[in-house]
C-alpha cells in the first residue's frame, strides 16, 4: 500500500504560513492525498530539524523566513536559479542527497503571465536589491525581458547584484541605479523592497513612467500600489506570486502542475 506523502514548511515564525492550505487545495484539485505540516524551528536547530524530517520519510519541504540562506548552504545539489538566488525555498531528498531549488522567481513569472501581462521584450524596473530581488532576476530574464534595471536606496547593493548576475542573464540588459535617480519609461515596475512590510512610504517621481505595477508583498497597505492606482494603470499585490511559488514546488515534488488562476480566489 502506498504511504501518504509527507511535506512541510519550516520557518520562524511559522504560525501564519498559507503553504499548508495552498498545497492541500492543489492536492484536492488533482485528486492527490498528502500531509503538509507547519514546522517551527529555533534558529540553531534548523539543520537538525531538516535532516530529521527527511530521515523520517519526509518527501519535500518548503523553507521560509529566516532560513532560506541556511537551506541554500545545507544542500548537496542546487538548481541554477537557486545558485543565482543564493537562497532555497524548496527541498527534497533523493538517493541520500538533499536537493534545493528556489521557486520564487518562476512563481512571480507565472503570476505575471496569469494576469495576462507579457514579459517578452519587456523593460522591467525592480525596486530593491535584497534577497527578494536576487531571487527573481534570472527567471524574469529567462521569461524574455529585454532590460532589467535594479534600483536601490543604497546604490552599492544594486551595483553588486548586477555584477553578480550579469553573466547569467543571456541577452537581457542588466543595470543598476539609485532609487533617488529614478526616471525613464518601463513596461513593468516590481516592488521588491521591504518598505510595505515595515509600513514605510515609497514615493515614485513623476519623471518615472510605467504601465504595470507588481508589489511582491501582500496583505499590507502599499504606497507603491496606491500610486499605481492613482496613475490608473493595471496593478497587483503578491498573492499570485505566493501561489505561483507553491505551485512550482508542488510540481517538483508531485510531477503535476495545478493551474495558478484556479487558486487566486483563496486570497
Query: Catalytic amino acids?
Result: 68
Q: Is 86 in the site for ligand ATR (CB under 6 A)?
A: no
How far lies 243's CA from each of 111, 159, 247, 252, in Å? 8, 30, 6, 14
Torsion over CA: 180, 234, 113, 266 (sign): positive
The answer, yes or no, to whether the previous bond of 66 is cis (omega within 30 of 0) is yes
Helix (H, G, I), strand (E, B) or coil at 223: helix
Q: How far is CA 165 from the centre of its chain?
A: 17
| Cell numbers given for 107 | 512563481
| Interface with ligand ATR: number of residues (CB under 6 A) | 16
Q: How far is the CB of 176 from ligand ATR (least distance, A)?
A: 11
Q: How far is the CB of 256 from ligand ATR (least distance, A)?
A: 30
CB closer to ligand ATR out of 85 and 188: 85
Q: Is 257 in the site for ligand ATR (CB under 6 A)?
A: no
Q: How far is the CB of 116 from ligand ATR (least distance, A)?
A: 27
CB closer to ligand ATR out of 66 and 121: 66
Q: Is 132 in the site for ligand ATR (CB under 6 A)?
A: yes
Q: Convert residues 157-176 into a mask of x (bound to ligand ATR by CB under 6 A) and - (unbound).
A: x-------------------
Helix (H, G, I), strand (E, B) or coil at 247: helix
- On whether the CB atoms of residues 157 and 220 are closer than 8 A, the answer is no
Residue facing ligand ATR at closest CB distance: 130
| Cell numbers given for 233 | 494603470
Q: How far is the CB of 253 from ligand ATR (least distance, A)?
A: 24
Strands 5-11 and 77-78: unpaired
Among 12, 118, 131, 168, binds ligand ATR (CB under 6 A): 131
- Ranges within 183-202 binding ligand ATR (CB under 6 A): 193-195, 198, 200, 202
Quickly list H helices, 15-103.
Answer: 19-29, 46-55, 68-74, 80-85
Among 154, 173, 209, 259, binds ligand ATR (CB under 6 A): 154
The binding site for ligand ATR (CB under 6 A) comprises 128-132, 152-154, 157, 179, 193-195, 198, 200, 202
Amino acid at each position: 500500500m502506498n504511504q501518504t506523502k509527507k511535506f512541510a514548511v519550516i520557518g520562524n515564525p511559522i504560525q501564519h504560513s498559507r503553504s499548508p492550505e495552498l498545497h492541500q487545495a492543489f492536492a484536492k484539485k488533482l485528486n492527490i492525498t498528502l500531509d503538509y505540516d507547519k514546522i517551527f524551528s529555533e534558529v540553531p536547530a534548523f539543520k537538525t530539524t531538516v535532516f530529521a524530517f527527511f530521515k523520517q520519510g519526509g518527501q519535500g519541504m518548503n523553507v521560509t523566513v529566516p532560513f532560506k540562506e541556511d537551506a541554500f548552504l545545507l544542500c548537496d545539489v542546487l538548481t541554477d536559479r537557486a545558485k543565482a538566488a543564493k537562497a532555497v525555498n524548496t527541498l527534497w531528498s533523493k538517493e541520500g542527497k538533499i536537493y534545493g531549488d528556489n521557486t520564487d522567481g518562476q512563481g512571480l513569472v507565472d503570476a505575471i503571465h496569469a494576469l495576462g501581462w507579457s514579459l517578452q521584450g519587456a523593460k522591467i524596473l525592480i525596486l530593491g536589491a535584497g534577497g527578494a530581488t536576487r531571487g527573481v532576476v534570472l527567471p524574469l530574464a529567462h521569461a524574455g525581458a529585454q532590460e532589467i534595471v535594479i534600483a536601490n536606496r543604497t546604490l552599492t547593493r544594486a551595483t553588486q547584484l548586477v555584477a553578480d548576475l550579469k553573466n547569467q542573464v543571456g541577452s537581457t540588459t542588466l543595470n543598476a541605479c539609485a532609487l533617488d535617480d529614478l526616471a525613464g519609461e518601463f513596461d513593468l515596475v516590481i516592488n521588491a523592497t521591504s518598505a510595505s512590510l515595515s509600513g514605510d512610504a515609497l514615493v515614485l517621481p513623476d519623471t518615472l513612467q510605467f504601465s504595470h505595477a507588481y508589489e511582491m508583498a501582500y496583505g499590507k497597505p502599499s504606497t507603491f500600489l496606491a500610486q499605481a492606482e492613482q496613475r490608473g494603470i493595471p496593478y497587483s499585490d503578491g498573492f499570485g506570486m505566493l501561489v505561483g511559488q507553491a505551485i512550482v514546488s508542488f510540481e517538483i515534488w508531485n510531477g503535476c502542475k495545478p493551474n495558478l488562476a484556479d487558486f487566486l480566489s483563496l486570497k
